Chains A and B, each alone.
Chain A
């Protein structure tokens, strides 16, 4: 009896120690995750030339943001980012829904061949230089086609979409076919409206990849006036002289660097609740079926 009580006690103490450990661990982790972003956010509102250990704004000012959204050399890359993200997501969803709609058709003659045609690109690729040379031959260097088209054709997203389409009850298609609807009609008025969740989820995959795109711009766009915000941000961070204009306006170039980071995060700060939900959905969609 006594022994039992003791062991219960010990278990209880073990549990308490674990709880304290867990609390400390997650507290440290949360600080480590948040501090870097917090520091950048604070300094972006802080119009000072040196920062060091400031964790709250001392000279609050939105001058840096004003500069980003008024100076055309900073505003234009931002607009280009928005443009390529919207256009890229639209083209990406178009390619991946049409492709998925075709590949979900189990009886389609040549289905395996078409699937393999796409899957092979995940096994073997030409590489950076041949891709660059192809862009050059297609006269797509320094055009947004080079940014949008290759990224829009994403086999992984297409397969996720197909998995989703395969879960739509077959009876819906059959009744539409009996009514004499063409496949294109079925696609537009049955498949797409039923796939809102998948469209949102894969649309967000695309939006994140286009907004974050750095490499395609670095490879295919040499014209600086066509660069997106990611490229601009990296230039600003590497070379403070790129911000000579800030000094003459009485704005700390460091605060502009920080503000540029926040602006690059901004769209996703708004979307984050959806991102989290739909990205998890997307991952599970991939895990559920072959």
Chain B
């Protein structure tokens, strides 16, 4: 009875309490192991692989240290890199701008459709392509846009253009670098505009009818109601979606990869496809240099994600992560 632990402050109190709490959650830690292992193997180990950007490394020779040489190559000696960099920005940003405009306009128009089943059916139709893979979409449009010397051998679009005499020679929509970018942007809109309206439509339906009623009492017509009630209500969602998509600007990859072909590769290469081609499909495949290019992209992407997260917290009170 000399010790009275209940009264004496125990110096190890905090520590043992932590240990007790951890012991209490032992099964939780156990359940988390698979997630930890898979994340470590497939997300953290590759981060360690970034060291190869300082090596000369090909499928046929072991890595050898070359310092900053790969970065010097990409910055100063390879115009192909800067082409890919510019293409990424141009394609991504014009895609982003178009997607914001088209989705907002479409959701405003859809919101005005008053017959319920009509609205439902229209939504069903415009959402559909979102669920098709990029390979499928690319395949559909490769067939529809195929060139041919006469209407019978062309894809649908060239067939009509030739038949109606709008063009004399078929247009190589996907094999002509002049046409490729606008066609890419169109296909992206075909695939994703409908789905882009989901979040805007959710916002539109959450606007209180009282606001419209009040505006009507004040004598506002439909046009003024849209200007003064609907658009301000959409502004917040608009900014959130914009920030979210801005953080993904550098991610462009699969959609371009499956719509590219050898004839337009130089003009349509974006950073990710450039990395893929130099590392895995090129005649003289190598790992060091494309790792450096990938690192360059990852760094820009991180800066974008972090600043977009910061901006989102400032504007919206919650981050995008």
Chain B hits for A13, CB < 8 A? none
Chain A hits for B42, CB < 8 A? 131, 134, 149-150, 153
Bound-complex Cα distance A98 to B37 (A): 13
Q: Assess the B163–A22 pair: CB atoms within 8 A.
A: no
Closest beta carbon of chain A to B311's beta carbon, Å? 15
Q: Assess the A280–B198 pair: CB atoms within 8 A.
A: yes
Q: Does A212 contact B (CB under 8 A)?
A: yes
Q: Does B291 contact A (CB under 8 A)?
A: yes
Chain B hits for A199, CB < 8 A? none
Closest beta carbon of chain B to A26's beta carbon, Å? 6
Q: Does B78 contact A (CB under 8 A)?
A: no
Bound-complex Cα distance A212 to B294 (A): 24
Known contacts A153-B35, A234-B258, A272-B128: A51-B45 contact under CB 8 Å:
no
Bound-complex Cα distance A231 to B321 (A): 32
Q: Assess the A117–B36 pair: CB atoms within 8 A.
A: yes
Closest beta carbon of chain B to A8's beta carbon, Å? 11
- Residues of chain A at the chain B interface (Cβ within 8 Å): 11, 14-15, 18, 22, 25-26, 29-30, 32-37, 39-40, 43, 50-53, 94-95, 98-99, 101-102, 105, 107-110, 114, 117-119, 121-134, 138, 149-150, 152-153, 158, 182-184, 187, 208, 211-215, 218-219, 230-231, 233-234, 237-238, 257-258, 260-261, 264-265, 268, 272, 275-276, 279-280, 283-284, 287, 290
| Residues of B296-319 contacting chain A, CB below 8 A | 297-298, 301-302, 305-306, 318
Known contacts A26-B122, A33-B126, A117-B39: A129-B141 contact under CB 8 Å:
no
Q: Does B21 contact A (CB under 8 A)?
A: yes
Known contacts A33-B125, A215-B253: A123-B306 contact under CB 8 Å:
yes
- Residues of chain B at the chain A interface (Cβ within 8 Å): 18, 21-22, 25, 27-32, 34-36, 38-39, 41-50, 52, 109, 112-113, 122-129, 131-136, 138-144, 148, 150-154, 156, 159-160, 163, 190, 194, 198-199, 202, 221-222, 253-254, 257-258, 261, 272, 275-276, 279-280, 287, 290-291, 294-295, 297-298, 301-302, 305-306, 318, 321
Of the residues A11, A52, A133, A153, contact of B221 by C-beta under 8 Å: A11
Interchain residue pairs A-B with the least CB separation, the first 6: A130-B49, A126-B46, A127-B294, A212-B133, A130-B46, A52-B152
Q: Is the interface of B mostly helix, strand, loop or mixed?
A: helix
Best-surrounded residue of B25, B30, B136, B156 (most CB of chain A within 10 A): B136
Of the residues B139, B190, B198, contact of A261 by C-beta under 8 Å: B139
Closest beta carbon of chain A to B48's beta carbon, Å? 7
Known contacts A132-B280, A134-B46: A230-B133 contact under CB 8 Å:
yes
Bound-complex Cα distance A283 to B200 (A): 12
Best-surrounded residue of A123, A158, A238, A268 (most CB of chain B within 10 A): A123
A-B contact count (CB 8 A): 258
Q: Assess the A32–B221 pair: CB atoms within 8 A.
A: no
Chain A hits for B148, CB < 8 A? 52
Chain A hits for B18, CB < 8 A? 109
Chain A hits for B198, CB < 8 A? 279-280, 283
Bound-complex Cα distance A126 to B51 (A): 10
* 7 chain-A/chain-B pairs, Cβ below 8 angstroms: A26-B109, A51-B152, A109-B22, A117-B39, A133-B52, A184-B27, A233-B135
Chain B hits for A50, CB < 8 A? 152-153
Q: Assess the B131–A275 pair: CB atoms within 8 A.
A: yes
Closest beta carbon of chain A to B180's beta carbon, Å? 16
Q: Add 9 more A-B contacts to A129-B52, A134-B49, A153-B42 (CB < 8 A).
A: A33-B125, A99-B35, A149-B38, A184-B31, A208-B131, A230-B135, A234-B138, A275-B131, A287-B202
Closest beta carbon of chain B to A161's beta carbon, Å? 11
Q: Assess the B39–A258 pair: CB atoms within 8 A.
A: no
Q: Assess the A114–B32 pair: CB atoms within 8 A.
A: yes
Chain B hits for A117, CB < 8 A? 36, 39
Q: Assess the B291–A127 pair: CB atoms within 8 A.
A: yes
Q: Assess the B139–A233 pair: CB atoms within 8 A.
A: yes
Bound-complex Cα distance A260 to B140 (A): 10
